[in-house]
Amino acid sequence: MMTLKPLMGALALGTLLAAGQAHALTVYTAGPAGLIKQLADDFKKETGVAVEVFQADTGKVMARLEAEASNPKADVVISASWDSALDLDKRGWLLPYASPNAAQVPAAYKGPSYVAQGMSALAIAWNAKSGTPRPADWNDLTKPEFKDLVNMPDPAQSGTALELLSGLQSARGDQAWQLFQDLKGNGMAIAGANAQAMNPVLQGAKAAVFGAVDYVALDSQAKGEAIEVIFPASGTVVAGRPMMILKSSQHQQDAKRFIDFVLSDAGQARVAATYLIPARQDVKAKRPVIKEIKSLPMENEAQRAGRQSLLARFSALFGRK
């Protein structure tokens, strides 16, 4: 038995070492459906590192981060709202990291501790079989032909809808509020999150979505739905989907490798396949890219800081609690 003890001790030590090395990278992400699974599978094949995923809308992702603030679980966060990256960075939660693969990402869509995975634009998603005239701009949805036939995602539930609301307010001022008043008078419904706004249009019960997330509608169009994605002539918001590493991560090197992978040729090809705009401008897209879409001016810090009061005003206008 004396000779077995060193052997047993060595085996126990080996087991502990193996257990210490066998970890998974934890990624919290907001859509699109299926993308994170593909990225996680590809990353594991390339690096041997498994990826555990929590996927939900941006609000639920951010709420989970807040709930776990005293005992953080996530290593990497991917959000559908640029504001979430700015907020977490201001609070000192993020690890500064500049990926070598981010050189072709536009400066507006990266910072010292965050970088876009991809971008989407807010659009009009129009059912071409609805019997309504094809809209070319936001104001067209206030016409009598669209009476009670327009949905908008609720800015209280959709980060991208809030970005559009804020972008229009910043660009148009009082004219934006006249637009919202006219839309309300024409019976526009505030229809929950993005999917809840889109589904009635796909089904033919409504004619259009004001502020549709474009990649979702483009995917539906590719699958044969009678949906057209229209980027308004007067301009829209191009929303970055930021990736960031939490400073609290116990696996920072693997987290950096994951960011690098998503920004690699292979990772960006996966992003492009979902009809998002790839973050890297040298990667081919399956849809219109930034230079082909009239973008509203980027907001400054003061404009972003006023979003909660903006949301309260919008909610009061449409009778939302």
Annotated binding residues for Fe cation:
215
Tell me whether residue 224 is exposed, middle or buried, using C-beta atoms within 10 angstroms of its C-beta: 0 to 12, 13 to 18, 19 or more.
exposed
Residue 278, beta-bridge partner list: 118
Q: Are 206 and 144 in contact (CB under 8 A)?
A: no
- DSSP secondary structure letter of residue 295: B
Q: Distance between CA 33 and CA 219 in Å, rounded? A: 11
As annotated, the binding site includes 215
Whole-angstrom Cα Rg for the chain: 22
Provide the 3-class DSSP secondary structure of residue 208: strand
276 phi, psi to nearest 5 deg? -75, 160
Check the CA dihedral 167-171-175-179 and report its sign.
negative
At 248, list the tokens: 């609290």
Give the span between the Cα atoms of 8 and 239, in whole angstroms: 57
Residue 75, burial from CB neighbour count under 10 angstroms (0-12, 13-18, 19+) = buried
Write phi, then psi, for 100 (nearest 5 degrees). -65, -20
C-beta separation of 181 from 88 below 8 A = no
- Distance (Å, rounded) from C-alpha 81 to C-alpha 87? 10
Q: What is the DSSP string of 54-108?
A: EE--HHHHHHHHHHTTTS---SEEE-S-HHHHHHHHHTT-B-----GGGTTS-GG
